[in-house]
Amino acid sequence: MGTKQYKGIERKQARWGFAFVVPSLVFFSVFNFYPILNAFYTSFYDRRALSKLKPKFVGFGNYVRLFDPARAANPLSFYNSLKATLTFTLGTFIPLLIVSLLLAILISNLKSQKAKRFLQISYYTPAILSSVVAATIWMLIFDPRGLGNQWMNLILNTPGVDHKWKTDPVMLQVSTMLVYFWKYIGYFVILFITGLATIPQTIYEAATIDGANKSQTFWRITLPLLKPTVVLVSIMAMLQCLKTFSTQYMFYTNGSTRAPINVITFNIYITGIQDQYLGRASAMSVVLFVLMLVLTLFQFRTTKSGENIDY
């Protein structure tokens, strides 16, 4: 009798819980799930943005075209987009992960609350700046007559040298990485600070009593106990980097050459919006989706994130 009554309450609660979840489920369906399904569907058709004609079914034609080796020589090909995306992701996500962790530890160990808050706000501010403002700031810095060259020439004692932040293919990639790093470092620092705050102080006290030094405390206590946050941040940072678009768009519209920074999302934009090949752009987005899925699964496997941390 008691069990039956319990089930009735549980069902009633579940119904209400479900009622609260439905709006967000509908929102997700309309704005996320439907576009994903639609992209899969469209990727099998030759669909043009402005055409009123029924799209022609091409099967895997769009995918075959993306991976056609004959097109690899063109610097604007999908092959080179894959290369540009991987270069950008590796060059940004690893420094983001390491530096944000180090900064979080530095900030967490500060005694002064004022200094802590000031640094948190300082690092986080770029993340909430609009892309237009960020673009204006960085384009002024990277202008040949801008602060970028002035600072570099002062540091390296090379007066009058143009470091070609926006034109040299390698420097251009480095510049986009720098901008992205600046914009998102604060976000990941905050995540790490939150993760660090969940580690009980008593563990550190016990370690100190046992005679552990700072290095041992970091490698034997902080890092292992921070593993769930590290996994979360590394996956989020990697996915963010794979999705990068506005930084590359900003450089391109300010005169930089496209090939070195033609990441997949930017290629999708040019192919779908400018060149109007929606089917082809959808195939690119499906490839990006699969790439993100595979890399995320790989990271989950290698870090074994399923392990729970018990204190």
Partner 1 sequence: MKKSVYFILIIALLLPAAIFAAGAKEQAVDETKPVTIVYWTHDDAARTKLENELIEKFQAANPHITVERSTRSAQKQIELVQTAFAANEGPDMFNLPIENQYAYITNGRVAPIDYVAAGFKSKQDMLDKYMDGILDTVTVDGEVYGLPLELTNWAIYVNKKVFASAGLDAEKDYPKTWEQMADVSEKLVIRDGDILVRRGFDFRYPYYLIMFVPMVEQLGGSLLSADGKKAIINDDAWIKALTFMQEWGPLGRNLGSTTYQAPRYLFNADNNDIAMAHTGLYQEGRMKTENPKFFESDDWMVVPFPVFENAVKDVASAYYGHFFMVNADSDPAVQKATWKLIGFLLSHGEDYLTRGGNLIQPTKALLASDTLKNMPYSEVFINDMARANMVYYGSDSAEIQTQIRNAVESVMLSGESPQKALATLRSAVQEIIDERH
Task: Please report, as ranges, the residues that interact with partner 1 according to CB under 8 A.
Answer: 11, 14, 18, 22, 25-26, 29-30, 33-34, 48-52, 73-76, 142-145, 149, 159-162, 164, 166-169, 253-259, 270, 273-276, 278
Tell me phi and psi for residue 3, to 5 degrees: -65, -40
Residue number with CB closer to partner 1 (19 or 209):
19
Residue number with CB closer to partner 1 (123 or 280):
280
Residue number with CB closer to partner 1 (184 or 266):
266
User: Shortest gap between Cβ of 285 and partner 1 (angstroms)?
Assistant: 15
**How would you label 181-218 residue by residue, b for 16+ Cβ within 10 Å and e otherwise?**
bbbbbbbbbbbbbebbeebeeeeeeebeeeebeeeeee
User: Shortest gap between Cβ of 291 and partner 1 (angstroms)?
Assistant: 24
Residue number with CB closer to partner 1 (30 or 297):
30
Residue number with CB closer to partner 1 (13 or 208):
13
Cα–Cα distance list, 158 to 92, 145, 155, 161, 162 (Å): 27, 14, 8, 6, 9
Half-sphere exposure of residue 155: CA atoms within 13 angstroms, side-chain side: 7
Cα–Cα distance list, 102 to 85, 186, 218 (Å): 26, 12, 11
Residue number with CB closer to partner 1 (15 or 304):
15
Nearest to 226 by CA among 307, 293, 301: 307
| Beta-sheet strands, E only, within the chain | 45-46, 56-57
Check if the beta carbon of residue 239 is closer than 8 Å to that of residue 97: no
Amino acid at 251: F
How far is the C-alpha of 35 from the C-alpha of 38, rounded, in Å? 5
Residue number with CB closer to partner 1 (142 or 188):
142
